[in-house]
Amino acid sequence: MAITYKWTINALDAHISHEEKSDVVYTVHWGYAGTEDEHAASSIGTFSLEFDKDNFIEYADLKESDVIGWLEAGLDVAAMKENLKNQIDLLKTPISKTYRTPFVETETETEEGGE
């Protein structure tokens, strides 16, 4: 099955006023996720925007698709997809594992030991 990718816009930082405009977005906090069957991987980041007075979109008129367009124009989406694919491949076929607190005794082990 193919990997499905999805953007999430987590937050937008905006100047209250900038060059006679209100609510000027200058940072996008994003998430990008890939899902294939029961396996999922994600990454998060921020993207800084340069103010463009000629192409300014009023905050009230701003759509998620506008913000995603900015991200796709400014980030290396192909590399991001490759990274998420690699993460999913490792979930499907792990090459390592982690032993969490391997030397901590549980209550049951302590009781069985008679102490």
What is the model's pLDDT at position 1? 79
What pLDDT is stored for residue 112 in this prediction?
A: 60
Full pLDDT tens readout for the chain, 115 residues = 799 999 999 999 999 999 999 999 999 999 999 999 999 999 999 999 999 999 999 999 999 999 999 999 999 999 999 999 999 999 999 999 999 999 998 766 556 655 5
What does residue 110 show for φ and ψ, rounded to 5 degrees? -65, -45
- Render 3-32 in DSSP notation, one character per residue: PEEEEEEEEEEEEEEETTEEEEEEEEEEEE
The candidate with the shortest Cα–Cα distance to 70, out of 23, 4, 7, 5, is 7
**Distance (Å, rounded) from C-alpha 7 to C-alpha 35?**
12
